[in-house]
Amino acid sequence: MRLLSSVLLAGACALAGCADYMSHRDTVTLGAGDAMLANQALHTVDPFPPDAHNTKIEGDGRRVAAAMGFRQKPAAGGGTAELDCAGGRGNNPVAPANVDVSAGDPNKLDGDGDGIGCESR
């Protein structure tokens, strides 16, 4: 019995050295992560990989030119986009007040025919 008590006491003393509060770590528990590595990542000067600064992206110029030509085609009817006066019923872009329409009025901005569209009242 005395031998068993001595062995148990020696085992308990040996295991007491494995206590977490004596391990001198920056974390509260083993699963809390690594604060020192996280701080190093925050203080990195340039966190992007070297290839992230490559601005020479390869592309097919003919496809890009065709897409740009398609996007830049004038709107149907007169070559200009439809416009509305401020406070009008449409949802088209608003023309500036007192705009000169003497060269033509495809958007019918000049209600009284004097050559000035969207007249402020």
Distance CA 116, CA 98 (A): 6
Length of the chain measured in residues: 121
Arithmetic mean of pLDDT over the chain: 74
Report field, pTM of the whole predicted structure over 0.75:
no
How many domains does the chain contain in total?
1
Q: What is the pLDDT at residue 81?
A: 65
| pLDDT at res. 76 | 47
70 within domain boundaries: yes
Sequence-ordered list of residues with C-beta below 8 angstroms from that of 26, at least 6 positions apart, any chain: 34, 35, 36
Domain around 120: 62-102+115-121
Instruction: Over range 88-109, report the average pLDDT.
Output: 78
pLDDT over 70 (residue 30): no
Q: Each residue of 46-78: pLDDT tens digit?
A: 777 778 888 887 777 777 777 777 666 555 444
- Burial of residue 117, with CB atoms counted within 10 A of its CB: 0-12 exposed, 13-18 middle, 19 or more buried: buried
Q: Looking at the domain assignment, is residue 23 inside a domain?
A: no
| CB neighbours of residue 85 within 10 Å | 22
